[in-house]
Structure 1
């Protein structure tokens, strides 16, 4: 029987399972991944949802209300934390510590047929996973409207993001549970700000653009729908995302091959694998490979303070190669 109704659609994707197959072998790794997906699936039943299907390393579920869907997503992350904590115990596979979860939710009219679901909300939720970092929960504005005010305040706007296969951009929000920008910055050295930055400059080949705070987020990727399009086959469609949060710019890797950052002209290279770091000063972002090979796709960046910026002669740049 076919039904058409408004539903909240949730997609969850488990990352880091490749390492398990390398360390445990196919049979045991398959068992661990299946068990983990089944475990996080318990959050669907516990919040009144319906598990539509499992998808190898992930799952799809639907809920009557946005509140139930978001509650389930939060519980999924709590359940995964238990699995990861077991990976820190003596004798446990170190691969368990690498497991991460991405969850995306959208709401809209859904066609339910033969136990499966179809529709724009299904497509949006599935494609939003491309824009999610490790242990992130992304939701659309339609989902946000239906959650309680105390939960709503925990979400931060990423503004409108172009979603693959959809003409109109989607207003996306992220659950703010990550460490503060200052804490993230200390991993890569002390950062001193005389004032909050006003913008960021990105340069790849002849593509030289300046983005102000109101332009955030910036999606760097191969897709023509990306904010900053880099037409190189080694770059993922949605490879990395730059956000403005807590008075600084944050770079999050969204790719399979990783994003690499080198601060200054000869600083240490930071490897981001679905992780984030604060961008400060100037440097180079390597997409898919470390910024060592001159032929690799690299984007130079410079964090700008417009109040301190003096006009430069045409064709010149403060960014050094």
Structure 2
């Protein structure tokens, strides 16, 4: 008999398995992935949820309680720190496994053990937008949480989800550490003032965003904070935000985002990953900066105190 009720739907997806297979070989990598998924399933069950099905390198789960789903999401991320792939020798370190999670709340119908409905669709779309080590959700689930749990989430922006006419308010769980992002913090560079904003320049468009106006979404959508009128750019392609005295750039696209800092020939490629922005350089959308067809945005990280008169 079909069962219809409001539930929290959780999608979790392991990232980095391809590199793991290349580095460790099929047998050991498959063991790590299988062990990881089994551990994620156990965490879901301990939190009161039910694994509906596994999906390649990920899983889908259902919870009757939104707070339990949030607790499970946090525990899923923490659990990956305990997974250490074994190498035959100390010379090379195995690639790290990353995890992205999406949560949604809404009416679902259960048929033959599987779940269908709007919450399933929304969670699946959010998973596409999530970066490594991120948990994303919407305001609908947030309203089901007690106030202390709501404080764990920070609004990103209203983003367009596939199949939705209107943008959806999307939030990220802040308990996840930015320390797991791609390291471009230039730790050996001299100390600088904390950034107050960023200047973005594309063709004849130039805008300055303060940290207080962030996050800034870069994309083709007219609702994007910095709109790029180029069909090769995703509607919500990348996001810039301020956290703990640094500016972070996160890729939200299918084609990737590339960064080249002035004075450095190396190009940093982000595919659903995050890096720290500092100094100045080029953000290239969909293709590396050396590709003449790529959409390139000049950026300058600003400290407004530098523009004030000195006494």
Which TM class, normalised by the smaller chain length?
0.7 to 0.9
1:45 equivalent in structure 2: 45
Partners in 1 of 2:107 and 2:114 — Cα distance?
14
Select between 246-255 and 98-107 the one with higher mean Cα deviation.
Answer: 246-255
Residues 184 and 147 (structure 1), Cα distance of their counterparts in 2 relative to 1, 3 Å cut: farther
Q: Which residue number corresponds to residue 268 of structure 2? A: 271
For 2:71, the equivalent position in structure 1 comes to 71
Q: Distance in 2 between matches of 1:160 and 1:89?
A: 47
- CA distance in 2: counterparts of 1:130 and 1:21, whole angstroms: 22
Please report how far the alpha carbon of residue 104 of structure 1 lies from its aligned counterpart in structure 2 after TM superposition: 0.8
Output the CA distance in 2 between the equivalents of 1:178 and 1:306.
27
Larger deviation, residues 1-10 vs 214-223: 214-223
| CA–CA separation in structure 2 for the residues paired with 1:267 and 1:133 | 25
Structure 1 match to 2:54:
54
TM-score normalised over the length of structure 1: 0.78
- Counterpart position of 2:200: 202
291 and 53 in structure 1: CA distance in 2 versus 1, 3 angstrom threshold: same
Contact 1:5 1:110 in 2 (8 A): yes
1:128 and 1:308 map into 2 onto residues whose CA distance is: 39
**Which of 111, 114, 118 lines up with 1:113 in the alignment?**
111
CA contact (8 A) 2:15 2:98 kept: yes
Return the TM-score normalized by structure 2.
Answer: 0.80
List runs of 5+ in structure 2 lacking aligned partners: none
> How many aligned positions are there?
303
Q: In the alignment, what sits opposite 2:128?
A: 130
Q: What is the rounded CA distance, in whole Å, between the counterparts of 1:66 and 1:246 in structure 2?
A: 28
Alpha-carbon offset, residue 290 of structure 1 = 3.6
Alignment of 1:208-227 (within 5 A): 208-211=206-209, 213=211, 216-221=214-219
Equivalent-residue separation in structure 1 for 2:74 and 2:234 (angstroms) = 28
Note the 1:140-159 alignment, pairs <5 A. Answer: 140-159=138-157
Shift in CA distance, 179/88, structure 1 to aligned 2, threshold 3 Å: farther
Q: What are the equivalent positions in structure 2 for 1:237-252 lying under 5 Å apart? A: 238-252=236-250
Structure 1, unaligned runs of 5 or more: 311-321
SS in 2 for 1:172: strand
Q: Which deviates further from its counterpart, 124-133 or 9-18?
A: 124-133
Deviation per CA, 1:59-94: give whole Å up to 9, x if none: 1111011111011111111221111x3458956984
Measure the CA separation in 2 of the matches of 1:47 and 1:213: 36
Show the counterpart of 2:15. 15
Distance 1:309 1:165 in 2: 45
Q: What RMSD over aligned residues (CA atoms) do the two structures have, in Å?
A: 3.4
Which whole-Å deviations, capped at 9, do the CAs of 1:111-130 have from their partners, x for residues lacking one? Answer: 22222222222111111122
Q: How has the CA–CA distance of structure 1 residues 214 and 119 changed in structure 2, closer, same or farther, with 3 Å as cutoff?
A: farther
Change (3 A) 1:28 1:89: closer
Match of 1:178 in 2: 177
Range moving further from structure 2, 115-124 or 300-309: 300-309
Residue of structure 2 in register with 1:231 after alignment: 230
